[in-house]
Structure 1
Amino acid sequence: MASPEVKFALKLASDAGRGVAVLLAGVGDRLGLFSALDTGPASPEELAKRAAIDPRYAREWLHAMAAAGYVEREADRYALPPPQAEVLAREGSVVFMGGTLQMLLGMIAPLDRLRDAFRTGKGIPFEAYPPDAWEGMERDMAGLYETQLVSEWLPRVPAVKGLLEGGALAADIGCGRGRAIFALARAFPKARFVGYDVHTPNVEFAQRKAAEAGLADRVRFEARDASAGLPPMDLAMTFDVVHDAAHPLELASAIRAALPPSGRWLAFDVRTEEEADANSGPLTLVRWGFSLLYCMSVSLAQGGEGLGTFGLTESRMRKLCTDAGFSAVRTELLSFHVLYEASP
C-alpha cells in the first residue's frame, strides 16, 4: 500500500500532467490544430499537411492529446469527438474554451513579474501582458455574449432591457475589445453605445471593429479611467470588471454620478461565496489561478484594493452600491456568474 507521501507525489505528478496538457491544448488552439481535426480524422502526416506544421510535432502533440482524452485514436488516425469539438474547435459555441486556453498562455507570459510581485506586493501592470492575454479574454466570453446576453440575461432584468429598447445611451465600462457592445448593438438598433477601457490597445481594436461592422454611427470607444469620472449616460454596464477594478468604490461612485434617476447599472460578475474557502466547483481552481495571474495583480499594480476573482461577494457589492449612493440592488443568479441591477 502506498504511503500518504507517495500518494500525494502521484497526485502532484498527475496535476502537473494535466497542466501540461492544457498548455499543449493552448498551443494547438493557436496553431489551428483542433479546427483542422474537426474537418475529419487524420494521421499525424495528414494533420501536419492540413495545419502546415511539422509532422514530427504533429505526432507528438497527438500522442499527448490522446493521453489527455482530448482526442481519440481510431486505428492509425486521430479524431476529435463532437463534445470535444464543441469545446476546442467551434468558435462561438457557448462552451468553446479556446479563448480560455489562449488567455492562460498570455497570462503566464509575465511569470517573472508575478514572482517579483509576490515579494513586493506591487502587482503586474497591463503592459506586461502580451496580445494573447487580451485576444484570449475577448474569445473567452464571446460565446456567452453571442448566445446568452440578449436572449437569456436581459429578460431577467426588464428595466435594463427596456432602456435599450427605448434608445438609451449605454456605456460598457471596462469594455475590453467591445464584444458585449457589438452583440447588444445588433440586437437594439435604437440604442447608442460607448465603450470605456483603460487599456488603449483594446480601445483602438474595438474602434476598428466597429467601423468594419458598420456600427460606427452609434458605437464608439474611448480610453478612459472610469474611476476618475464619467459623462452622463442612461445605462451603465460592467462585465466581469468590478472584481478587477483598482478602486471599486470610486468606480461605483462615478457610475452613480453619471446616471439619471431612471437609469440603471447592470453588473455581471463572478458568483462567489462569502467565505473564500467555501468556493467550490469545476471553475474554482482556474479562477484562483486567474486571480493571481491577472485579476488581483493588475489591481494592485494600480495601487488598488486587489479584490481578486472571488473578492466581490454579494455583501461587498451591496455595501459598495450603498456607499456609492444607489438606493436598491437586485440580484439574478446565473450558473457561474451573477447579475446585479443597481438603481439610483
Structure 2
Amino acid sequence: MKNIGFLSFGFWQKNNSLVTTAQQSYDESVQLAVEAEKIGIDGAWFRVHHFADQIGTPYPLMAAIAAKTSKIEIGTGLVDMRYENPFMMAENVMATDVLSKNRVQLGVGRGSPEQVQDGWQYFGYDYTEEEIKNIARARALKFLDLLKGERFAEPNAQPMFPQEPGLRRLEPFSPTLQHRIWWGAGSQATAIWAAEHGMNLMSSTLVNYESNEPFHVQQAKQLRAFKDAWKKAGHDFEPRTLVTRSIMPIVNDLDRQYFAAGTQTQDEVGYLAYHQNPTIFGKMFVGEPDQLIKELGEDEAIQEADTILITVPSTLGVDYNVHLLKTIMTDIAPALGWK
C-alpha cells in the first residue's frame, strides 16, 4: 500500500503555457487539489521557490486548499530554510495546520539553486553560501523545537489581554504537527541526520552520486539508511518515507504529442550549481501503462517508500493533470499494489 500524492511546481509563464499568470496558477493549484481528492489522491504537494514565476510562500495556498477540501494531505517539497525565521515559520505553519484540521505535511530542507544569487540576503540574512548550509540545519532544529510547544517567552507584567501566569509559547499550538515534518535529503549522511532528529524523509528525483549504481538503487540505500538510523534513535512514532517520480502514461494522441519524444528516459549524471560532487537525476517514466507497470515494479526506492509523489506538468492546466492522475490511479497503481 502506498500513499499517492501529486507534486506541482505551480509555474506560470507567458509563452508555451496554458497557465500565464500568478492568479491563474494559484487558482488552478486549488482546483487541482479539489479534483485530486475526488479521485482518491492522498496528497497535494507544492514546490517552493523564491524570486520565480511559481509558488513562493506556501501557507496561503495551503490554507486555501484546506478550505475547499476535507481529506487530502497538503504538503510542501520543500520550504527552503535558508530564507526562514523559525519563529515566524512555526507560527504560520501551526495556524495553517489548525485551519486544515491537521493535514499539513511540511517538507523542509536546505533548498536548491534559486533564481538570484544569495537570495536569502534580501530577506535580511547576511551569510555566505558556505555559512548558510549549517545555519539552515540549525534553523530547522529550532523550528522543530518550537513545534513541541514548550513555554519559553517571559510574559509581560502588564499584558494587553488577561492570561494565565507563566511562560508563553507560540500560538495556535498544533500538538501533532512535529510528527509531520519532512527533511529533503540528497545523501545517505543527510538521511541519517534527518532520522536522528525525528523528521520524516523525502527524496526527490535527484540524489548525490555516491556509487555507480542506477538512481533508484542509490535512492533505496538512502531510505534504508534512514530506517536503520530511526530504529537506533528510538523515537516514539513511526516515520514515513517519500520518493518523487515523473510518470507520463501514454494512452491517447494528446499524451503522445506532449511526451512521446524528447523526454529524459535514462538516468543522467550532472552537477548542481552549489555542489562540488556530481548528482544523479532519475529518469522520466514515459510509455503505455503495461510498460510503466513493469518499469515501476522494478524500482527499489519505490518499494522502500510508503509515499510516492507524481510530478505534474502544471503549465498544461487542470484538465490535463486530472487526466494524468486518473490514468495513474486506474491503469497503473492497482497493478502495482499501491492502493
Report which of the two has the higher share of helix: 1
What TM-score results when the alignment is normalised by the length of structure 2?
0.36
RCO higher in structure (CA 8 A, sep ≥6)? 2
What TM-score results when the alignment is normalised by the length of structure 1?
0.36
